[in-house]
Chains A and B, each alone.
Chain A
Amino acid sequence: MTIFSVPGPVKALFDHFPLQTYPSISKRDEAMNYELAQRTYDFQGPNALQADINDTFTLGVYNTFQEPSSDVALATDPWCLYAQLSLCKKNSLKLPRATKAESNRPSKPRQKMALLSPLATQNESLPILVEGYNKRFIRSSDDIHDSLKSRAAEDPPQLMYISLLEHVIYDCWMTQVLYHLNNDDFLKLYSFESCPGRNNLLVQRLAVQGLKASLIKRNEFFLRHKVLAQNIESTGVSYNSTNLLEILDPILERCKKVFLQFEKLFQSKQFVDSPTHLELKIASYVLCIMNLPIKVPLRSFLEERCKTLVNHSRAILNKFKN
């Protein structure tokens, strides 16, 4: 017993307090429940249902789009979509439905995907993975990226290809969304506030600069392209400047070259029932690029020159449909 420890009788007396404990105050908030329902998509398939809520996870993504030929909700960002497809592969899940049937929502806890703001996490980037419920742990986008990369570690060529994609294709994707999209189209990809009915145009307009600034921090894009990063962080973006085009063009050309090489590789490859992580990675980029507006150069290039990759990606998508 030290001089700082509380004497037994005093402790026993204080342990009586509080004298009475009432039940907890209800956290029920109808508006928040509505918000949760609107921004949550349930993964499908028998494995999506869990007996214990603490065995569930929630994947946080920027926004979703509906693939034209199906009723599935896909993440609009390639990193988020890769995480979504990887979770489906790992847990034998089917992709969430884009249209929601509120009345048929089961009471059992489910694996979910949620539309979140990048501010939901400390490093301001998505995807995030919320594991568990009462006792939870939130994995950041970097953690998810490292974890998924480690799954391909046993196959060095696959790991090399994934690294190639993470630099060449990723950088090109970033330049396409940052410089070839207007604010409205950009927000459709990176802000759930652009969903119909939310009517928060003013918020979006004010937040777009912050969103772009946080996005360039992901995957160290800002370190590889300092001039572009400075251009995004400054308030006056000058897309038409000759200097900027000189930087953007080589990025696009490199990306086209890599896509053509993969196109060639996949032409000789048979589609197998269980796609590899490399295939998921390519599919996530291809599907996201195909969701971009028609005027975006990278999308028209894929449509014209990489038909095998597009078909292969759609085949992977079909595999994860319910």
Chain B
Amino acid sequence: MDRFDSDLNERLIEQSRLNSGPTSQDEQLGKAIKLQNYYSQLLNKKSSELVAVNGVIANNSESIRSQVLQKYLDATILQAKTVGELVESADILDTKLVQHGLVENAQQILGSRGIFQLPLIKYHFTSQIYDSVNIPETVSVIDVISQLQLFPLRKFMARTGTNIGNGEGDGYLQFQLRNMFGGGEQLRFDVTKGTKTFSSYLINYAQPLNPWWVWDSLFFKNCRQMGNRNSVETLLRGFRTCLRSGFYGDNVFNHEVFCDIALRSNKMNSLDTCDTLLYQAGDDVKSSLGHIIVWDKRDNPVSASRGSLFRWYNELALGKFWKSQIELSRAQSWFQDDWLTVNGTFKTGYIHNFHPTTRSLNICDRFQNGGGNDVRSFQYMGLGPKDIYDSIGGDAFLSYGISIFTRLPFRKISHSNFRLHWFFNGGKLVNHNNLYLQDVAKALSTQHSTSVGFGLVLKHPVARFELNFALPVTCHTGDSIRKGFQYGIGLSFL
């Protein structure tokens, strides 16, 4: 018995040593990678095999209206003709059900009942090439049954927490009624108190119209601080409704069409406010229609390692102006584990004032440049025209940045989310007084405010944190420079 116990102990110690040791971990990782590679090879090999989803068994589907679930199935897995398409559409189905607030989570098991033959002439298949002399009368199709396991969500949810935005932070209290009528309808009430946004209240109703389009409406009231010296306090009260698409796939453009009506009150807080801002104080109503088109192929919207982005924003403020803004971004990585990443971003914008000689643009509508998330080494709203000390914004701008990221040069922490960062930024913001477009382009093409620097970046999944040492290379008299350390927290960077 003793001998048996000692053998057992030895075996357990040996097993635990094997399990905990670095060799065991490496082996397990290796096995997992091998298995993953095997599955992906198998999937690639069989991706063009024909399939037909002839049945879906949905468990726990009581919380979703049957017509709604049918719409989602029709638009995704029931469209699939090949194994590749089926796997991709099954992923999309799960994502959409969760994203549109229909379920907490969704899982699918795709099973086969065998292979059956279908007459070729009656069935349209993609990517099947046959020799002209050897066209078969029937094709083999895998008969697939999907078992959809749905995890219903809690309809009422109250939560509290903190948000981090571009150079600001806030705390929020949120009440949510989700999937109210079984179609993903969501009613949300938000209260936020923060550093730049003093207070914000919003009532939001969102409803998916189909798997690809969401209708989103909100009433809002918020009070936020603006200006390079925080001398403007803007109170916004209004309504916004939009239709937003969420298409997946290669070369897919997503759209957002919106209508915005807001009463804005600009209040000046400083004892030495410039004339421009003094005359901008007061109430103003803006009603606008807009469209945003986005082509986003980046692997991560916060800190991309590879991929491209194209975003074009257009806004027509009725009776006031037309505003257009374009953003282009491209990221590319090299070496093992994306050791080196280069990211380039270019942004430009233009406002056409319909009354260029009589009605000035509101400071809230003008472009602003500079700051830790924009042209670094300059203060927030530090570029462009100034009236005495205050930034008054501009109606055309151009900004660009090239960033180089590398993993940390220490083996133990090289796999962390920290990166070393080198950058070059530049930009210019002007008031064009409705000059011709080519003259505006000419004005924007010379005498840029530029900067260089380096720092440390934390690529967190929810936001990007930067601490940089930056120096301005060229600037304009009146630009608010920040020489030395500068931090940036946010979701989008230059």
Contacts and interface: CB of A to CB of B under 8 A. Distances in A.
Interface of A: 14, 17-32, 34-36, 39, 58, 60, 114, 116-117, 119-122, 124, 130, 133-138, 193, 200, 202-203, 206-207, 210
- Nearest first, the 7 A-B pairs at minimum CB distance are A117-B282, A120-B281, A31-B360, A24-B478, A27-B385, A24-B477, A207-B283
Given A18-B473, A117-B283, A203-B285, 18 more contacts: A14-B471, A14-B483, A17-B471, A19-B473, A21-B474, A21-B475, A22-B449, A22-B477, A25-B429, A27-B386, A29-B433, A31-B358, A34-B357, A114-B279, A116-B282, A120-B273, A130-B278, A135-B272
Interface string B260-288: 00010111111111011011011111000
Interface of B: 263, 265-273, 275-276, 278-279, 281-285, 353, 355-361, 384-388, 392, 394, 428-431, 433, 447, 449, 471-478, 481, 483-484
Contacts of A60: 278
Nearest to A207: B283
Given A17-B473, A25-B384, A29-B360, A117 B431 contact: no
Contacts of B268: 119-122
A173 B431 CA distance: 44
Contacts of B431: 25-29
Contacts of B447: 22
A134 B275 CA distance: 10
A25 B429 CA distance: 8
A119 B267 contact: yes
A25 B281 contact: no
A35 B276 CA distance: 10
Nearest to B271: A138
Contacts of B430: 25-26
Nearest to B357: A30
25 contacts: A18-B474, A20-B474, A21-B475, A21-B477, A22-B449, A23-B477, A24-B476, A24-B478, A26-B430, A27-B392, A28-B433, A30-B356, A30-B433, A31-B353, A31-B358, A35-B360, A36-B279, A58-B275, A117-B281, A119-B283, A122-B267, A122-B269, A130-B275, A133-B388, A202-B285
Given A18-B472, A31-B356, A134 B283 contact: no
Contacts of A28: 431, 433
A208 B369 CA distance: 34
A24 B430 CA distance: 10
B475 A22 contact: yes
Contacts of A210: 265, 283
B95 to A, nearest CB: 42
Given A25-B384, A31-B359, A39 B279 contact: yes
Contacts of A136: 272, 388
Given A27-B385, A29-B431, A60-B278, A119 B360 contact: no
B234 to A, nearest CB: 10
B283 A25 contact: no
Contacts of B265: 119, 207, 210
A207 B361 CA distance: 19
Contacts of A121: 268
A119 B266 CA distance: 7
Contacts of B357: 30-31, 34
B388 A134 contact: yes
B35 to A, nearest CB: 54
Contacts of A117: 281-283
A26 B478 CA distance: 10
A200 B263 CA distance: 12
Nearest to B428: A25
Nearest to B278: A120
B283 A203 contact: yes
Contact of B276 (A32, A133, A134): A32
Contacts of A124: 267
Contacts of A34: 357-358, 360
Contacts of B360: 29, 31-32, 34-35
A136 B387 CA distance: 12
B453 to A, nearest CB: 11
Contacts of A32: 276, 279, 360
A18 B428 CA distance: 15
A23 B357 CA distance: 25
A200 B433 CA distance: 23
A141 B344 CA distance: 51
A137 B263 contact: no
A133 B271 CA distance: 12
A135 to B, nearest CB: 8
Given A24-B476, A27-B392, A31-B355, A193 B282 contact: yes
Contacts of B353: 31
Contacts of A135: 272
Nearest to A197: B358
Nearest to B395: A29
A251 to B, nearest CB: 29
A210 B267 CA distance: 12
